[in-house]
């Protein structure tokens, strides 16, 4: 078998071994909060405190109604955290699992699945805050909200592809991780997470057109707020998803021969 | 039937000798300036830890790898396990592998021995009842007693070795690859480990082990090859190969000593131009 074929087979076997990835993800979450009393509740709590605090302060600074703003934040913030975590943790997917790659002859892409599951679990915990906000604010429930489901699917599949791609690149280029961490801090302010672009009316600023993260945020947040999502956003996200998965698979398969040596 | 074949395998690995070579920015700068910038800092060299290796192993073969540190033994085992893939030549494997390399790098020290063993077994893809059997087996072998339910960070290094060695030999696959682990631990454990390894080796259909301990090699292996600078320089009966190796080592101590001490690559070259 050529190295590329071994890489392709790894991608396939990684799918077959998702139960292993699931138990590994569970173990990581367990150990992260072992010896704490509140355990994984800290994940939800930290986000809830942040959202609550920002909602109180910014609704006054921007002279907005508290309840709609709280709902806006509680819907967008978990999605943003998911995107930012994927981007900052992806470059270390393979680097941090060197021991496991060397000791077990399991597919290497299991590590990608594991990381995606950990990040998704944290996302699910953050969405608990959205549920609470939904109960407090009681916005109109519409069938349009269901569009958030395909939005989420696109978000997760893109996350998988991006992790595979950035995981390989991050092993080869060690400053990718700090560079991405820095950029995501910057993008957090630039992307309408805690300010609402709808307030700016017709003059939508440029960062809502040429900002890839905005579109991914919008395909989940838009439906959940019963706000129509621009066709532009759906198209962009689907194209990016396909691109990420294809590029990720090709990069992994082609780099499989030397990948271990970069770790 | 298990089979492990290497045909004229050469492994060549890039080695970063310059920090900027790991930098995305300098890579981008090189591309943007058509290689003018960063030419001076070109720090990717290559090592060739294995050159033109051909091995053919079938059921019942228990191969010993003999050679100095840096002769290519570990790389050969990693190539057999498909962790490292050859630059040229063909590596073919029919059968599942289990590995005993760098014991303990995948441990979760905050979790108990039992939990860690459970994960070990999950990685092997064992069913729930098989996992329980394996944990019982390892607990008994490693004599951990009540420590099996304590966090691994509380273990002594001897306990760790016993547990991990027990785990790696508990459920042998078709092909067992071992790198220098049996010699760890105290004398009493050594005897016990040897018995268990024997047992495990005879169940595993092909085994390959790298070792510096002649008694281990003589007891456990029925074939041997000797590596020198990434090439096979001698092969045959373990005792004969070892004797020739040992004689050379003692006859020319000054020639052998530096090679034994350094982990220098078998052969290395820097590319002329990036």
Q: From first to last of its 263 residues, what are the pLDDT tens digits of chain A?
A: 677 888 888 999 999 999 999 999 988 888 887 777 777 788 899 999 999 999 999 888 888 888 989 999 999 999 999 999 999 999 999 998 888 888 888 899 999 999 999 999 999 999 999 999 999 999 999 999 999 999 999 999 999 999 999 999 999 888 899 999 999 999 998 888 888 877 776 666 776 778 899 999 999 999 999 988 989 999 999 999 999 999 999 999 988 888 888 88
For the residues B42-61, what does the mean pLDDT come to?
83
Q: What is the pLDDT of residue B36?
A: 44
Q: Is A9 on the interface with B (CB under 8 A)?
A: no
The beta-carbon neighbor of A105 closest among B81, B84, B111 is: B81
Q: What is the pLDDT of residue B254?
A: 52
Q: How far apart, in whole angstroms, are the C-alpha atoms of residue A193 and residue B163?
A: 49
- Are the beta carbons of A20 and B106 separated by less than 8 Å? no
- Of all residues in chain B, the percent with pLDDT exceeding 70 is 76
The residues, any chain, with a CB within 8 Å of residue A165's CB and separated by 6 or more, are A90, A244, A247, A248, A251, A252
Q: What is the pLDDT of residue A250?
A: 94
- Are the beta carbons of B119 and A27 separated by less than 8 Å? yes
Q: Is A178 on the interface with B (CB under 8 A)?
A: no
Q: What is the pLDDT of residue B184?
A: 54
Is residue B272 very low, low, confident or very high in pLDDT (cuts 50, 70, 90)?
very low
Helix (H) or strand (E) holding B208: strand B206-210
Q: What is the pLDDT of residue B25?
A: 67
Cβ-contact B101, B77 below 8 angstroms: yes
Chain B residues interacting with chain A (CB cutoff of 8 angstroms): 13-15, 22-25, 27, 78, 81-85, 87, 91-92, 96-99, 101-103, 105-108, 110-111, 115, 119-120, 122-125
Q: What is the pLDDT of residue B273?
A: 39
Question: Tokens representing A98?
Answer: 């060197």
The beta-carbon neighbor of B85 closest among A101, A174, A257 is: A257
Closest CA to A157 of A238, A253, A252: A238
Q: Is A106 on the interface with B (CB under 8 A)?
A: yes
The beta-carbon neighbor of B101 closest among A1, A30, A102 is: A102
Chain A residue with Cα closest to B108: A31
Q: What is the pLDDT of residue B251?
A: 72
- pLDDT tens profile A11-32: 999 999 999 999 999 888 888 8
Angle at A35 between CA A32 and CA A36, to 5 degrees: 80
Phi first, then psi, for residue A109 (nearest 5°) are: -70, -10
CATH of B1-96+173-184+205-274, one of 3.20.20.10, 3.40.50.300, 3.40.50.740, 3.40.640.10: 3.40.50.300
The residues, any chain, with a CB within 8 Å of residue B92's CB and separated by 6 or more, are A1, B3, B4, B5, B6, B7
Best residue of A7, A26, A105 to probe chain B, by most B CBs closer than 10 Å: A105
Q: Is A31 on the interface with B (CB under 8 A)?
A: yes
Q: Is the dihedral of CA B115, B121, B123, B127 positive or negative?
A: negative
Best residue of A4, A34, A104, A259 to probe chain B, by most B CBs closer than 10 Å: A104
**How large is the ipTM?**
0.75
pLDDT over threshold 60, residue B271? no
Is residue B22 very low, low, confident or very high in pLDDT (cuts 50, 70, 90)?
low
Domain boundaries, chain B: 1-96+173-184+205-274, 101-172
Q: What is the pLDDT of residue A220?
A: 95
One-letter-per-residue 3-state SS of chain A: CCHHHHHHHHHHHHHHCHHHHHHHHHHHHHHHCCCCCCCCHHHHHHHHHHHHHHHHHHHHHCCCCHHHHHHHHHHHHHHHHHHHHHHHHHHHCCHHHHHHHHHCCCCCCHHHHHHHHHHHHHHHHHHHHHHHHHHHHCCCCCHHHHHHHHHHHHHHHHHHHHHHHHHHHHHHCCCHHHHHHHHHHHHHHHCCCCCCHHHHCCCCCHHHCCCHHHHHHHHHHHHHCCCCCCHHHHHHHHHHHHHHHHHHHHHHHHHHHHHHHHC
Is residue B29 very low, low, confident or very high in pLDDT (cuts 50, 70, 90)?
low
Q: What is the pLDDT of residue B83?
A: 87
When mean pLDDT is compared over A243-257, B33-47, B164-178, the highest value belongs to A243-257
pLDDT over threshold 80, residue B104? no
Contact residues, chain A, for B110 at CB < 8 Å: 31, 34-35
- Are the beta carbons of B24 and A169 separated by less than 8 Å? yes
- pLDDT tens profile B215-255: 878 888 889 999 998 899 999 998 999 999 988 877 765 54
Chain B residue with Cα closest to A4: B85
Closest CA to A232 of A210, A205, A202: A210
- pLDDT tens profile A192-212: 888 887 777 666 677 677 889
Q: How far apart, in whole angstroms, are the C-alpha atoms of residue A6 and residue B197?
A: 30
Q: What is the pLDDT of residue B42?
A: 52
- Are the beta carbons of B125 and A102 separated by less than 8 Å? no
- Are the beta carbons of B22 and A23 separated by less than 8 Å? no
Q: How far is B122 from chain A (nearest CA, A)?
A: 6
pLDDT over threshold 50, residue B274? no
Contact residues, chain B, for A256 at CB < 8 Å: 85
Is residue B35 very low, low, confident or very high in pLDDT (cuts 50, 70, 90)?
very low
Q: How far is B243 from chain A (nearest CA, A)?
A: 32
């Amino acid at each position: 078998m050529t190295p590329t074929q071994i890489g392709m087979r790894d991608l396939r076997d990684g799918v077959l071994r998702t139960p292993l990835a699931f138990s590994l993800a569970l173990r990581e979450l367990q150990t992260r909060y072992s010896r704490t009393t509140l355990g994984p509740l800290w994940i939800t709590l930290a986000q809830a405190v942040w959202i609550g605090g920002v909602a109180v302060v910014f609704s006054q600074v921007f002279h907005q109604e508290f309840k709609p703003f709280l709902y806006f934040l509680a819907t967008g913030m978990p999605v943003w955290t998911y995107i930012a975590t994927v981007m900052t943790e992806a470059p270390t997917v393979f680097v941090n699992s060197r021991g496991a790659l060397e000791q077990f002859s399991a597919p290497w892409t299991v590590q990608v699945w594991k990381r995606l599951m950990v990040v998704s679990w944290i996302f699910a915990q953050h969405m608990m805050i959205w549920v609470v906000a939904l109960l407090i604010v009681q916005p109109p429930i519409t069938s349009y909200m269901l569009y958030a489901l395909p939005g989420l699917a696109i978000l997760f599949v893109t996350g998988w592809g991006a992790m595979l791609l950035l995981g390989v690149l991050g092993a080869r280029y060690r400053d990718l991780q700090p560079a991405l961490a820095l950029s995501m801090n910057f993008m957090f302010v630039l992307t309408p997470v805690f300010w609402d672009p709808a307030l700016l009316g017709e003059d939508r600023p440029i960062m809502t057109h040429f900002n890839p993260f905005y579109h991914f945020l919008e395909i989940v947040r838009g439906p959940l707020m019963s706000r129509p999502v621009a066709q532009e956003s759906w198209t962009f996200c689907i194209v990016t998803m396909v691109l990420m998965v294809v590029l990720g698979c090709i990069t992994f398969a082609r780099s499989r021969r030397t990948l271990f040596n970069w770790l | 039937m298990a089979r492990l074949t290497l045909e004229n395998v050469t492994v060549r690995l890039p080695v970063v000798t310059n920090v900027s070579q790991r930098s995305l920015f300098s890579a981008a700068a090189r591309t943007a300036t058509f290689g003018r910038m960063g030419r001076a800092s070109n720090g990717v060299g290559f090592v060739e830890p294995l050159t033109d290796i051909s091995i053919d192993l079938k059921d019942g073969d228990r191969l010993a790898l003999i050679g100095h540190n840096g002769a290519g033994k570990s790389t050969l085992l990693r190539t057999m396990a498909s962790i490292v893939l050859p630059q040229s030549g063909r590596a073919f494997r029919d059968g599942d592998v289990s590995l005993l390399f760098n014991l303990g790098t995948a441990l979760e020290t905050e979790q108990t021995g039992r939990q860690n063993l459970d994960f070990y077994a999950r990685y092997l893809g064992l069913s729930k009842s098989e996992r329980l059997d394996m944990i019982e087996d390892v607990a008994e072998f490693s004599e951990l007693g009540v420590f099996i339910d304590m966090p691994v960070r509380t273990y002594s290094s001897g306990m760790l070795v016993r547990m991990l060695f027990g785990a790696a030999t508990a459920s042998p696959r078709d092909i067992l690859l071992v790198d220098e682990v049996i010699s760890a631990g105290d004398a009493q454990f050594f005897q016990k480990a040897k018995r268990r390894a024997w047992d495990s080796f005879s169940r595993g259909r092909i085994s390959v082990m790298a070792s510096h301990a002649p008694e281990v090699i003589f007891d456990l292996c029925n074939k041997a090859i000797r590596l020198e600078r990434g090439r096979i320089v001698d092969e045959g009966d373990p005792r004969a190969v070892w004797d020739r190796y040992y004689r050379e080592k003692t006859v020319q101590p000054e020639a052998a000593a530096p090679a034994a001490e350094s982990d220098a690559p078998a052969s290395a070259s820097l590319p002329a131009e990036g």
